[in-house]
Structure 1
Amino acid sequence: MPKFPDFADKRVIDRHLDRLDTRGVARRDFLALASAGVAASAAATAMGWPAVAVADPSGKIAYLAWSASTEYNQLVGKGAGAAAAALGMGYTLLDGQIDAGRQLNQFEELATTQATGGFFNILDGSALRRVSQLADASKVYFGAVWDSLPWFTPFDGAGYYTLYANPEEDVAHRGVSEALLQAVSDKFGGGKVVALTGSPGGWCETARNRGREEALAKFPNIKLVDQLPGKWLREESLRATEDLLTRNKDIVGIITQNDDEAQGAIAALRNVGLKAGEDVLVAGADGTSLGAKAVRAGRQIATSGNSPVFTGALFATRIFDVAHGWVPRAAERQLYWRATVVTKDNVDGYIDRYVDNGDTEPFDYRRMSKVLHPDDWDPQADLYPLDLERHWLGYPKPADWSPPKAYAEARANGEFEKVKAEYADHYKIKFDGPSPNRKA
């Protein structure tokens, strides 16, 4: 067995950093990598022994957004870029321009550049099967948020599909819808509401619709009379809202599926001489900057505080960690996080941390990393394992479907409960509290 160098010696570390391709790995990180079992592998590579390198040659990650025109995707990109910079990695945002084929081509091109990885907000979840094949062939890690091929899991995509994660959307949108419906009851005593949906058939739309319906069931004095797809876009939602207002009289509320849609609805109300927040109440989702500011201004009743910046940071950090030797357990490859319902009562704190925060980043990105902080990592959100049966509620199972073996074993042997408890124990920097970077 070869004898490894003394990594307590600064000169030894510097010598290996010089010899290895270590873009993105600073001296101060090297010992943290060693604690994750990677530094020894790096030394082996430098000495000619079979092993993996410390970092991918390009040290670059990409966010493959279905459209860069939405504020949500812009903010996800902001979070991914900030986390990548903190981790010493390169970063790029790729605009899918509302074209699933383009997104697939972008990932294929990314794979040929030997990038470390990328993550999707993909327009058509069915493309993830092909993405998984490309990732395994090129050894490029990837993750996905929101939509997916129903019942398709990271386990079906083999080892390089490292993370599928979302806010628990039916719960989040139920809370947002209840806030709007309660406001409608308080102000108007009930009445008629309409809805803007997302992209028909997608998981996010389905989950948010379910949450909305669960909320409506609690308010028999309020009736949902009509709905049209806003397709997550402001202009589409403006036109859809104009149609809804033409088709339905005496509307007192509009439940939309994201804050870009809410902005479109607010603009449509203004165009016909109605005031959002006074004549008609509006709710959104995702916790974008414009959404939060609309809540504070009274034009919007509520949004779900997912923090798009957190989305970007979560996936960027995961790709960094797996590229540097950390191996997630089965229960860690599919995750939910708990969003907050943002209303006039808590919007000021949300804006202070996530919107009007200047140069103060809302998260300690390096502390999200289990490689850099093996003992005191902090998810900085309430993260917990995703239940497949609950997640795909309403989608018929394929005839030959059965739970992936690793997933089933993790459910049976208590790994799910262990991971949930472990993440809760490490969750110190609260999602709805002040930024960890804000000076006292």
Structure 2
Amino acid sequence: MAKRLDPRTLPDFENRKVVDDYMGRLDTHGVSRRDFLALASAGAAASVGAAALGLPSVAVADPSGKIAYLAWSASTEYNQLVSKGAEAASKALGLNYVFLDGQIDSTRQLNQFEQLTTTQAAGGFFNILDGSALKRVSQIAEDTKTYFGAVWDSVAWYTPFEAGDYYTLYAVPEEDDAHRRVTAEVLKAVTESFGGGDVVALTGTPGNWCEAARNRGRDDAFKDFPKTKLVDQLPGKWLREESLRATEDLLSRNKNVVGIITQNDDEAQGALAALRNAGIKPGQDVFIGGADGTSLGAQAIKRGLQTATSGNSPVYTGALFAARIYDVTHGWKPRAAERQLYWRALTVTKDNVDPYIDRYVDDKGVEPFDYRRLSHVAGGDAWDPQADLYPIDLERHWRGYPKPEGWAPPKAYAEAKANGEFDAVKAEYAAANKIKFDGPSPNRKA
């Protein structure tokens, strides 16, 4: 027998303390009490109606509804900038937007997504703390018909194809290549200034795909700089405070450090603080590489404190996923080759940091992308990915991770590779890319 929902058991949303308690527990950054009550009322009404009909509680995506970014932490500048891009794209596409803070807790992120599905939201996308949680997210999405996407972490060899149609996009920068180029800039500076020397590294979260890919690219760069050596590493866990402490430990254990390769610009900020505390001059005594192209990272390069970062533009991340959620809730259906995508990051150094800052950091109110043209639906014939965006090759992406027993490529993926769809999508996206990632903003007047 279907479980009935008694409206008398619902929370008292007339009570301000009850509302504040729920908003606090859900970390509903960017949601007003009025919005929260509207969403709660809609979700409760849908649940009551479904229960009255003997149906499971199912929320149908509303194309005019809300998009959520479910970040593992709101404390990193990277996630704050992703949110900025998602919010700007949502606004341009006529959608509401909310930024949800997972507070470094994947269970909290799951709960936030479950709550989202009761609000008739258009969908959401994750930077999830634990990729294994995406399997549960996929089940919830299928049950509630709510679209979602994911950036960065995932279960090895797990794809949107196993999850179902509502896992619409997994997308990341191609990190092996990006971090190899950043590391090469640091090692070149070390070689030119000191003739070589000892380099240490800050890693991310062990087992995370991004950490593994960046480490692989980092290690590959050392092959071209034989007078440099990676002598030690500790986890910075993507956070400034952790990275400050880890860098202090690395400096105490290694007396001749001339280079530090970090996993992101937040870690680089922690490393810079540790160097300052030790009386070591960054950019002169020690050269630092980061990743993600955050505002603070770019400004540190401009000031000569940081040598390089990978400019993948966190704002682009948010805008790309917001546009995808908009598209799939407005009738557009991605081909198999479009459900897993890479984009190519810039290598930002002192030579090109000024135009990067002009577009992505100190933009003076000029948005860095044409958000409507990022959408296949809103952009129409003028659709433009605004980056070098191309399909992910699974065998390359998950190399280094053992395949599950009996694993075979998903049927739709294998067919798309065999029939030339991957090559066709790559060529089509390249031809449509008129607004270049390393060029000026399309919104800036000449």
Q: Same fold (TM over 0.5)?
A: yes
TM-superposed CA distance for 1:114, in Å, is: 1.7
Which residue in the other structure is 1:389 paired with?
Answer: 395
Paired with 1:176 and 1:97, the residues of 2 have a C-alpha distance of 29
Alignment partners' CA distance in 1, 2:284 and 2:418: 52
2:411 match: 405
**Secondary structure of 2:165's match?**
helix
Q: Is the 8 A contact 1:114 1:138 kept in 2?
A: no
Helix, strand or coil at the partner of 1:210: helix
Query: Residue 35 of structure 1 aligns with which residue?
Result: none
Change (3 A) 1:55 1:108: closer
CA contact (8 A) 2:61 2:120 kept: no
Q: Which amino acid aligns with 2:203?
A: T
RMSD: 1.0
Aligned with 1:373: secondary structure?
Answer: helix
2:239 to 220, 224, 233: 233
User: Which residue in the other structure is 1:24 paired with?
Assistant: none
Does structure 1 conserve the Cα–Cα contact (< 8 Å) formed by 2:383 and 2:432?
A: yes
Q: Secondary structure at the match of 2:407?
A: coil
1:347 equivalenced with 2:347 (yes/no): no
- State the partner residue of 1:193: 199
Match of 1:370 in 2: 376
- In structure 1, C-alpha distance between the alignment counterparts of 2:64 and 2:246, rounded to whole Å: 44
2:180 counterpart of 1:178: no
Match of 1:21 in 2: none
Given the alignment, which residue of 423, 426, 429 partners 2:432?
426
1:253-292 Cα distance to aligned partner (Å, 9 max, x none)? 0000000000000000000110111111111000000000
* 2:362 pairs with 1:356: yes
2:291 counterpart SS class: coil
Select the residue among 319, 322, 326 that pairs with 1:316: 322
SS where residue 156 of structure 1 aligns?
helix
In structure 2, how many angstroms separate the alpha carbons of the residues matched to 1:323 and 1:400?
34
Displacement of 1:60 in angstroms is 0.4
Which segments of structure 1 move beyond 3 Å, counting only runs of 4 or more?
A: none
Task: State the secondary structure of the residue aligned to 1:217.
Answer: helix
Q: Which residue number corresponds to residue 29 of structure 1?
A: none
| TM-score normalised according to structure 2 size | 0.86
SS of match in other structure, 2:443: coil
Find the counterpart in structure 2 of residue 156 from structure 1. Answer: 162
The answer to whether the Cα contact below 8 Å between 1:120 and 1:145 also exists between their aligned partners in 2 is yes
TM-score by length of 1: 0.87
DSSP 3-state at the match of 2:367: coil
Per the alignment, residue 103 of structure 1 pairs with 109
Q: Report how many aligned residue pairs link the two structures.
A: 387
- 1:358 and 1:99 mapped to 2: Cα distance? 35
User: Cα distance, 1:374 vs. partner?
Assistant: 2.2
Residue 217 of structure 1, CA deviation: 1.3
Distance in 1, matches of 2:288 and 2:273, equals: 11
1:290 pairs with one of 293, 296, 300: 296
Counterparts of residues 238-317 of structure 1 (less than 5 Å): 238-317=244-323
Unaligned runs of 5+ in 2: 1-59
Q: Per the alignment, in what secondary structure is the counterpart of residue 321 of structure 2?
A: helix
What CA deviation, in whole Å up to 9, does each residue of 1:134-183 have, x standing for no partner? 00111110000001011000001101000000000000000000000001
**Equivalent residue of 2:126, what SS?**
strand
Residue 58 of structure 1: how far off its partner (Å):
5.6
User: Are positions 1:120 and 2:146 aligned together?
Assistant: no
Deviation by residue 1:210-263 (Cα, 9 ceiling, x = unmatched): 000000111110010000000000000000000000011110000000000000
The residue identity in structure 1 corresponding to 2:383 is W
Amino acid at match of 2:273: A
Deviations 1:83-130 (A, max 9, x none): 000000000000000011111111111111121100000000000000
2:377 counterpart SS class: coil
Q: Which amino acid aligns with 2:333?
A: V
SS in 2 for 1:224: strand
Identity of aligned residues (%): 76
Any conservation in 2 of the 1:285–1:305 contact (CA below 8 Å)?
Answer: yes
1:414 aligns with 2:420: yes
> By how many angstroms is 1:55 displaced?
7.4
Mapped partners of 2:61, 2:445: distance in 1: 33
2:148–2:169 contact (8 Å) kept in structure 1:
yes
8 Å contact kept, 2:186–2:288 = yes
Per-residue displacement from partner, 1:297-345 (whole Å, max 9, x unpaired)?
A: 1100000000000000000000000000000000000000000100000
2:73 to 64, 67, 73: 67
Measure the CA separation in 1 of the matches of 2:349 and 2:434: 24
- Corresponding position: 1:217 with 2:223: yes
CA–CA distance in 1 between the matches of 2:169 and 2:346? 22
CA distance in 2, matches of 1:438, 1:57: 30
Cα distance in structure 2, aligned partners of 1:121 and 1:331: 22
User: Could you tell me which residue of structure 1 aligns to residue 3 of structure 2?
Assistant: none
Q: Within the alignment, does 1:144 sit opposite 2:150 as a pair? A: yes
> How far apart in 1 are the matches of 2:162 and 2:410?
7
- Structure 1 CA distance for aligned equivalents of residues 222 and 335 of structure 2: 38
Q: Distance in 2 between matches of 1:55 and 1:125?
A: 24
Conserved 8 A contact 1:193-1:223: yes
